[in-house]
Amino acid sequence: MPKADMTNRRTFLKRSSTAAAGLVFYGAAARFTRAEAPSSRMRIAVMGCGRGLAHISSALDIPNTELVALCDVDKDRLAAGQKTASQKQKKEFKAETDIRRVLEEKDLDALFIAAPNHWHAPATILACTAGKHVYVEKPCSHNPWEGEMMVMAARKYNRKVQMGNQRRTWPAVVEGIEKMRAGAIGKLRYSRCWYVSARGSIERGKAVPVPDRLDYSLWQGPAPERPYKDNFVPYNWHWFWHWGTGESCNNGTHEIDTCRWFLGVDYPTKVTSAGGRYAFKDDWQTPDTQIASFEFAEGKSISWEGKSCNNYPGEGGAGRGFIIYGDKGTLVNHGNDDYAIYDYDNKLVKQLKSEVDSQANNTVSANGNLDFYHFNNFVDSVRGTAKLTSPVTEGHKTVLLCHLANISQRTGRTLHCNQQNGHILNDEEAMKLWRRTYEKGWEPKV
C-alpha cells in the first residue's frame, strides 16, 4: 500500500496554476500586475448590502472593476454598503432603494444580487432584460418555475448569469472532481451530504409599525403583500415559505450541488423528504430537521441531512460536507476547500486542504477569501476570457433538487419526476407548488 499523498498548501498552489473549464487561479502578484485594456473596465452594481458586503469587497479587488451603484431597501444596510465601498473605491457611486432605477444606468455591465430569495429571479430577469449580466446568490430561485424563467432570460438576452455556489470554483474541490473524472475511486454510485447549525427560536411575531429605515413595500416587491411583523426582517424570512426556501436551499444548495456535480447527474426520477419543525413552537414554517433523498436514472443517488437546531457535527467533526462513494474507494470533504481519498480498504491515499493566500481581505463571509475565485470567474467570463463555472443552466438544476425536496416535505409524498426536466409526474397538488403567485405588476416576464 503506497504512502498517503499529503499535498501541502505550497505545493498545491504551485501546481494549480490552471484547472478545468478554463478556470485560472490567480496569485496575489498576478492579480495586481496583469494589464487590463480600458475597454475591459467592468462597471457593476450590488443589490442587497448584507451578504452583498462580500460582493462589494471581492468585486472591487478585481482589477479594472468599478462600482456604479448600491441598492438596498434598508437605509442602515445601505449605509453599511456605502462605508465598505468607500474604503475600496474613491470614485463616487450612487445609492438607491429601487433596483429599477439602478438598471436604468446605461453603462452598467453587471448586477450582483444578494437580496432575499424571493427577489433573486425577478431581479435577474429584470437585469437580463435591461442588457446586464448577473451574479446571483443561491438559491437562484424561490420556486422551480422561476428557475426555468431565469434560464430562458439568460438565453434570450445572451447574458452571463452565474449562481453563487462557490465550491464550483474552489481550487481543492476542483482538483477533487478531476480525480473523480480520472477514476480515482472507480464508478461513482452514491453521495451523502449534511449541514448542521444551532439556530434559536424566532418566537411569535408581533404586528408593529414598519421601522423608518425600511421601505417594506419594496422589500416585499414580487411577493404578495403581507402585514409587517417584528420577526422576519432582516434574516428570519428564510423560514417562511412566502419569502424563503428553508435550510435545504439556504445552505443545502452548496453540498447538494457538489454531490450532483461529482456524480454527473442532472434531473432526478424520484425525490423523498422527511422531517419537520421539531425544535421550537414558533412562527418558523420550514423544516429545522430534514432528510432528503434523490434518485437518478443513471443508477445513482444523493441524500442530504439538514439540522438547523442541533449543531452536533457530521463526518470528521465537520458542520457541513459531503462524501462520494465509488466501487473502488471514497472521497470525503469536510466543508472547506479540501478533500481526502480513501481506497476500498478505507486507507488514506491522498489528502489536500488549500489555504488560499488572502485575495479579498475584507470579504465578509463564512469562507472569506475563497469567494474571490467565484467572483473573479464571473468577471472574467463577462470579459470573454473564461467560462462560467456555475451558469444558471447548472444552478437551476441543483436548486430544483432543493425545491423538490421541499415540495415532497410539504405534500408528505414521494415525488416521481420527468428525468428530462424534473417536472413532477401524476401529482397535480404537488405541481401547484411549482410556481407562486405574485404581487400585481411584479410577475417575472421573459
Looking at the DSSP assignment, which residues form a beta bridge with residue 71?
47, 96
Amino acid at 416: H
| 3-class secondary structure, 33 | helix
pLDDT (0 to 100) of residue 22: 30
**Does residue 54 fall inside a structural domain?**
yes
Residue 370 has a pLDDT of 87
Q: Taking the alpha carbons of 295, 146, 51, 91 in that order, is the dihedral positive or negative?
A: positive
Tell me how far apart the alpha carbons of residues 283 and 241 are, in angstroms, rounded to a whole number: 11
Could you give the 3-state DSSP secondary structure of residue 25?
coil
Domain membership of residue 257 (yes or no) is no
The CATH number given to whatever domain includes residue 61 is: 3.40.50.720
Burial of 60 from C-beta contacts in 10 A (0-12 / 13-18 / 19+): buried
Q: Is 53 exposed, middle or buried (0-12, 13-18, 19+ CB in 10 A)?
A: buried
3-state secondary structure of 424: strand
The grid coordinates listed for 27 are: 496569485
| C-alpha pair distances (Å), 297 with each of 128, 411, 416, 417, 424 | 34, 23, 12, 10, 15
**Structural domains in the chain (count):** 1
State which residues form the domain around 78: 17-167
In this prediction, residue 40 carries a pLDDT of 82
What gap in Å lies between CA 220 and CA 213, rounded to an integer? Answer: 15
Q: How far is it, in rounded angstroms, from Cα 446 to Cα 149?
A: 7
Structure-block grid coordinates of residue 7: 499535498
> Which amino acid is it at 148?
E
Cα–Cα distance measured from residue 88 to residue 361, given in angstroms and rounded to the nearest whole number: 11
Is pTM beyond 0.85? Reply is yes
Low-confidence ranges of the chain (pLDDT < 70): 1-39, 355-368
Q: Which of 383, 385, 387 is nearest to 40 (CA)?
A: 383
C-alpha 385: how far from its chain's center? 23
Please tell me what DSSP assigns to residue 229.
Answer: B
Instruction: Give residue 240's pLDDT.
Output: 98
Q: Residue 62: inside a domain, yes or no?
A: yes
Q: Is residue 248 part of a domain?
A: no
Residue 64 inside a domain? The answer is yes
265 within some domain: no
Domain annotation covers residue 418: no
Rounded to whole angstroms, the Cα distance separating 319 from 341 reads: 19
* Rounded Cα distance, 168 and 249, in Å: 16
User: Whole-angstrom Cα distance, residue 112 to residue 104?
Assistant: 15
What stretch of H or E contains 306?
strand 300-307
Q: Phi, psi at residue 59, to the nearest 5°?
A: -65, -40
Q: 444: cis peptide before it, omega within 30°? A: no
**240 domain residue, yes or no:** no
**What is the distance between the alpha carbons of residues 82 and 71, in angstroms, rounded to a whole number?**
10
